[in-house]
Chain A
């Protein structure tokens, strides 16, 4: 117990003795991790937005004009038996015309000039959640196109594909920047610990001479690295939250993207804790690198 207290006290003494270096390490780690956090936040929000859009996706299955009511019933039977289909709504030619006139009253005379209703009957299909990915939607649409009596299947393919591409790009950038900046955070903490090790080299030599094991010597520095990483990470979350709230405030006051600010979300507490744990892990790694380089076998 006394040994544990000693090791923790040594970590605290290390940080207090090198106050300035400790502060700089925490701040630079915080800025570094905040840069990663910005991309992560963007990624999380875009993923959520993509999820809402996917949930909302409606696929129009247009029917051939020459279909009899029996054939229409066959198509409907086909669609209803499909496990990808969550819900189905039939829109007859007459309903389609009515909706067109309601939506575009000034253009309705164009259709009247044709003499007969040119709009096809259709089904509005919503897919089950597990069939809402861009690839699954595409595959389903291609399959339904083969059904006899279906003239066309329509959905916002381009939009979904573009969004998926943007999300993938941000994901890649976030991973790339995350890896690079995490390495930077490890280096920053490693250098801080190296300075501490250097300033306490005589003390370390004495500890070795009186029979301290390698782990006894290492623990205070590993704890110090982990604490620096955790504090840096926590501070980066505070900075991110501040920037996030500022951004939302701006959106509200300017009136642009009205309503979007309510859809945005910060990291949930579990993710915040996970990010602090990641910071702690990076700090631990940085400290470990320094201790290894410092050489454990020296007397």
Chain B
């Protein structure tokens, strides 16, 4: 992790995410203030901070759901701040997202939920079957493929959400408080899952305020406080 106070020149191939002097305000309240950071390819980064620190805002900016008032954002060598709205879906196909509230479609089976990112890309039926099966197997819920989300435990629902995020092989996985609804055992399982995904080369950014996660991950930590980036620290061993 290479965050700088002055920002850096975008150095291309080894950098996956870069923010240069990014600021954002909502109703004159500062959500992010002059944030500059850099995340390399294949890194696992924790984005820590209390509620309202600006973690979710930062993640939403990385997928083009929010635009900064100032500064520039690069993801996978694309300048997100200058992307046309019609190009944003193509950015999101390279960035998987995992949410605290899972955001699964309640009337669709596990299989159908996980196949959605492939469907929107027009992937063939045979490839969808293969990739969805692989993703479900990777997160350990292959046997639940025909069930509706309501029939799953919260841990299983989060696994399905992760399967949906990785099914099309994204270069970056963003997770916003992914363990917020889970007990310590399930939290541990989910974090191990993220580590596995990261080990396969995917850059992983997990936003959390849970110290348990930081203790378990033991990776680079970015801390936001009232929209400002604090000096870098390592996770606890």
Q: Which of B74-128 contact A (CB under 8 A)?
A: 85-86, 89-93, 97, 103, 105, 107, 116-117, 119-125, 128
Of B64, B103, B123, most A-chain CB atoms within 10 Å: B103
Cβ-based interface call for A162 (8 A): no
Cβ-based interface call for A297 (8 A): yes
Interface size counted on chain A using CB atoms at 8 A: 21
Per-residue CB proximity of A201-236 to B under 8 Å, as 1/0?
011011111111110100000000000000000000
Tell me if B105 and A206 are in contact (CB < 8 A).
yes
Interface residues on chain B, size class = 20 to 34
Per-residue CB proximity of A192-204 to B under 8 Å, as 1/0?
0000000000110
- The distance in angstroms between the C-alpha atoms of A203 and B113, with both chains bound, is 11
Q: In the complex, what residues of A have CB within 8 A of residue B124's CB?
A: 1-2
Q: In the complex, what residues of A have CB within 8 A of residue B117's CB?
A: 210-211
Tell me if B119 and A2 are in contact (CB < 8 A).
yes
Closest A-chain residue to B124, C-beta based? A2
Q: In the complex, what residues of A have CB within 8 A of residue B196's CB?
A: none
Tell me if A210 and B63 are in contact (CB < 8 A).
no
Closest A-chain residue to B60, C-beta based? A299
Cβ-based interface call for B220 (8 A): no
Cβ-based interface call for B65 (8 A): yes
Tell me if B86 and A213 are in contact (CB < 8 A).
yes
Known: A3-B119, A297-B85. A211 touches B90 (CB 8 A): yes
Closest B-chain residue to A5, C-beta based? B125
Cβ-based interface call for B21 (8 A): no
Known: A296-B85, A299-B65. A6 touches B105 (CB 8 A): no
The chain A residues found within 8 Å of chain B, CB to CB, are: 1-3, 6, 13, 202-203, 205-214, 216, 296-297, 299
